[in-house]
Amino acid sequence: MKILTRTIELLLLSAMLACLLISLAGCGSSSHEKKVGIVVPLENKALDEIVAGFTETLRKTSSVPVKFKIANAQGDMNVQRAIIQQMRDEKYDIIAPIGTVATQMSAALIQQQPIISLAANFSQQDRLQRKTCNIAVVHDEISPRQTIAFIHEVYPQLTQLTLVHSASDKIFPEVKAAVEAGKEMGINIQPVMVPTLNELYSVANALPQNTQGILVLKDILIASGISTLEIAAQKHHIPLITADQGSVQDGAAFALGVHEREIGVEGAKLAAAVLSGQPVCSLPIVDMKRLTVFMNTAALAKENQSPAAIQAAAKKLNYKIEME
């Protein structure tokens, strides 16, 4: 019996080892290939779009062959640090962190290699204060004022809006700016913070009675639970307005935002310039300017909202419209 138990244990452990070996992905690289490492902080559809835009564009535009390593830290700080240090030690030609935290960590740990930061809050001042200026940045923020102005154009009678946001690093100043812009346009914006996704359901079911719409800014955590808010919007027959394409694909009524892929595309242009020999610090900090209105007609119908007003406002403000 003892031998049998031991044999089963050995078999199980051998199976686990086999799994481990299968997972090993050995890959060599030729000497003329440039190595580009992309640090993805966690699993997210929008981040995947950024990565796709970055890799596809850089492959096409780079003057030298490029080999990519895409490493997802799965939301773990220790793993993220290990990934960045590994890319640094293996002398990657470019390291591209996505998001503010990954950018800050890369900036703290990497002094020599060029960093192309995607979708991060990292200002020109931050860049110049560094000992070595080795960062180029693509910002992904859309001015909350523009979002509120668009909403005001679509719904001129709207006076009460609930803004659901997470405790994410970059969202707080945007919430403040949105509230101020709302005041100027006669819209009372009530912010509601949701620290963890588990609490979103409770918030969605306790919306203020007088709210005439739900607003979500570009917020990865809230976007992950957008269907919960869409159910609430349908129940109250109010629009769910967001600021990214992914959440409209997942059920929100409409959004004024940018193609996530475009952030990657802009980052790839910076990376291509670096690979062709341009100093990283001479590259500009890129802002996303081309805004698109994403519409989900099925969600609009369930919320009892008319697409005509959105289309008219988009036309007036000169935004491109895309149906999801």
Partner 1 sequence: MLDLLNVIITQSIPFMLLAFGISISYNVLRATDMTIDGSFVLGAAIFARLVTLGFSPPVAATAALLGGALAGMMVATIQRGGRVDPLLAGVLATFILSSLNLILMGKPNINLLSQTTLVSFAFAQSNTMGWIVTGLYTVILCAIAYSLMRSHFGLSLRAFGNNPALLKRLGKNIERYRLLGFALTNLLAAAAGCLTAQTVGYADIGMGLGMTLTGIGAIILGQQILRSVTKQPHFRSGAEFIACLIGVILYFFSLNALLRLDIDPIYLKMILGIVLIFFLRAAVKPTLSGNAS
**H-helix or E-strand spanning residue 74:** none
Number of Cβ atoms within 10 Å of the Cβ of 27: 7
Number of residues that bind partner 1 (CB under 8 A): 52
Q: Residue 163 is encoded by which pair of tokens?
A: 């803004």
Residues 6+ apart with CB under 8 A from 291: 142, 146, 256, 257, 258, 319, 320
Write each residue from 128 to 147 as x if it is in contact with partner 1 (CB under 8 A), else as -, in one continuous string.
Answer: -xxx----------------
> Among 105, 194, 222, 274, which residue sits at the site for partner 1 (rule: CB under 8 A)?
105
Residues in the chain: 324
Specify the stretch interacting with partner 1 by CB under 8 A; choose among 104-112, 145-153, 208-216, 269-277.
Answer: 104-112
Q: Whole-number minimum distance, CB 1 to partner 1, in Å?
A: 6
Number of Cβ atoms within 10 Å of the Cβ of 246: 24
Q: Whole-number minimum distance, CB 28 to partner 1, in Å?
A: 10
Measured distance CA(248)–CA(299) in Å, rounded: 9
27 binds partner 1 (CB under 8 A): yes
11 binds partner 1 (CB under 8 A): no
38 binds partner 1 (CB under 8 A): no
Q: Are 245 and 255 in contact (CB under 8 A)?
A: yes
φ/ψ of 319, rounded to 5, equals -105, 145
Q: Which is nearer to partner 1, 9 or 184 (CB)?
A: 9
16 binds partner 1 (CB under 8 A): yes
Write each residue from 153 to 192 as x if it is in contact with partner 1 (CB under 8 A), else as -, in one continuous string.
Answer: --------------xxxxxxx-------------------
20 binds partner 1 (CB under 8 A): yes
Of 165, 162, 164, 146, residue with least CA distance to 154 = 146
24 binds partner 1 (CB under 8 A): yes
- Fill in the amino acid letter for 315: K
Strands of the sheet with 94-97, listed across from one edge: 66-72, 34-40, 94-97, 115-118, 135-138
> Among 61, 85, 146, 188, which residue sits at the site for partner 1 (rule: CB under 8 A)?
85
Measured distance CA(219)–CA(227) in Å, rounded: 14
Write each residue from 244 to 283 as x if it is in contact with partner 1 (CB under 8 A), else as -, in one continuous string.
Answer: ----------------------------------------
Specify the stretch interacting with partner 1 by CB under 8 A; choose among 10-18, 59-67, 210-218, 238-246.
Answer: 10-18
Q: Whole-number minimum distance, CB 74 to partner 1, in Å?
A: 6
Of 276, 275, 285, 2, residue with least CA distance to 136 = 285
Q: Which is nearer to partner 1, 72 or 211 (CB)?
A: 72
Q: Are 254 and 297 in contact (CB under 8 A)?
A: no
202 binds partner 1 (CB under 8 A): no
Can you tell me whether residue 97 is helix, strand or coil? strand
Residues of the shown chain interacting with partner 1 in the complex, contacts defined by CB under 8 A: 1-2, 5, 9, 13, 16-17, 19-20, 23-27, 43, 69, 71-79, 81-83, 85-86, 89-90, 100-101, 104-105, 107-109, 111, 126, 129-131, 167-173, 195
